[in-house]
Amino acid sequence: MREVIVNKGGPMNAVSSARLVRATSLPELRAAGCLVVHADGHSLCLFADGDQVHAVDNRCPHMGFPLHRGTVCDGILTCHWHHARFDLATGGTFDQFADELRRFPVVVEDNAVLVDVTAPEDPVKHQRRRLQDGLARNIPLVLAKAAIVLLQADSTGVEAFRAGLDFGVRRRGGGWFRGLTTLTCLMNLVPHLDPNDRAAALYHGLSDVAQDSAEQPPRFAIAPLPGKTADIARLAGWFREFVEVRDPEGAERALVSAVQSGASPTALADMLFAAATDHRYLDGGHTLDFINKALEALDIAGWERAELVLGSLPVQLARAQRMEEANSWRSPVDLVGLLERAFEDLGRAHEQGAAHQPRPELRGELVDTVLNDQAEVILEALLQALREGAHPVDLASAVTFAAATRIARFPTSNEFGDWDTALHTFTFANAVEQGLRRSPSLLLLRGVLDAAMSVHLDRFLNVPAKRLPHPEPHVDPESLLKRLPRLLDRQQQVGPARALVASYLAANGPPEWLIASLGGALLRENRNFHTIQCVEAAVRQHELLGAAPDAGIPLIAGAGYLAAHSTTTRSQRQTFEIALRLHRGEKLYEDEDVA
Q: What is the per-residue pLDDT across 107-124, written as a single tens digit (0 to 9) for each? A: 999 999 999 998 877 899
Last residue of a domain, one of 66, 96, 116: 116
Any residues with CB less than 8 A from the CB of 133 and at least 6 apart, and which?
A: 96, 139, 142
Residue 205 in any domain: the answer is yes
- Among 326, 328, 313, 292, which residue's Cα sits nearest to residue 433? 292
Identify whether residues 199 and 169 lie together within a single domain: yes
Identify whether residues 79 and 185 lie together within a single domain: no
Residue 595 in any domain: the answer is no
- Among 457, 444, 449, 399, which residue's Cα sits nearest to residue 426? 399
State which H helix or E strand residue 536 sits in: helix 529-545
Last residue of a domain, one of 73, 98, 116: 116
Identify whether residues 357 and 454 lie together within a single domain: yes
Residue 251 in any domain: the answer is no
Residue 309 in any domain: the answer is no
Identify whether residues 346 and 454 lie together within a single domain: yes
Residue 287 in any domain: the answer is no
- Among 324, 191, 306, 208, which residue's Cα sits nearest to residue 256? 306
Residue 322 in any domain: the answer is no
- Among 158, 94, 176, 169, which residue's Cα sits nearest to residue 135? 169
User: Which CATH number characterizes residue 12's domain?
Assistant: 2.102.10.10
Identify whether residues 366 and 401 lie together within a single domain: yes
Identify whether residues 355 and 453 lie together within a single domain: yes
Residue 388 in any domain: the answer is yes
Spell out, as residue ranges, where the chain has pLDDT lower than 50: 1-17, 592-595
d(CA 243, CA 291): 14
Identify whether residues 512 and 438 lie together within a single domain: no
Task: Fill in the DSSP letter of residue 479.
Answer: H
Identify whether residues 156 and 204 lie together within a single domain: yes
pLDDT score for 590: 52
Asked whether the CA dihedral 573, 289, 179, 185 is positive or negative, the reply is negative
Identify whether residues 565 and 545 lie together within a single domain: yes
For the chain, how far is it from start to end, CA to CA, in angstroms? 26
Any residues with CB less than 8 A from the CB of 518 and at least 6 apart, and which?
A: 484, 535, 539, 555, 558, 559, 562
d(CA 545, CA 547): 6
Identify whether residues 146 and 80 lie together within a single domain: no
pLDDT digits (tens, 9 = 90+) for 1-48: 233 333 333 333 334 447 899 999 999 999 999 999 988 888 899 999
Residue 243 in any domain: the answer is no
Q: How many domains does the chain have?
A: 4
Last residue of a domain, one of 90, 116, 142: 116
Identify whether residues 103 and 127 lie together within a single domain: no
Domain span holding position 147: 123-213
Identify whether residues 538 and 556 lie together within a single domain: yes
d(CA 83, CA 458): 52
Burial label, 96 (beta-carbon count in 10 A; 0-12, 13-18, 19+): middle
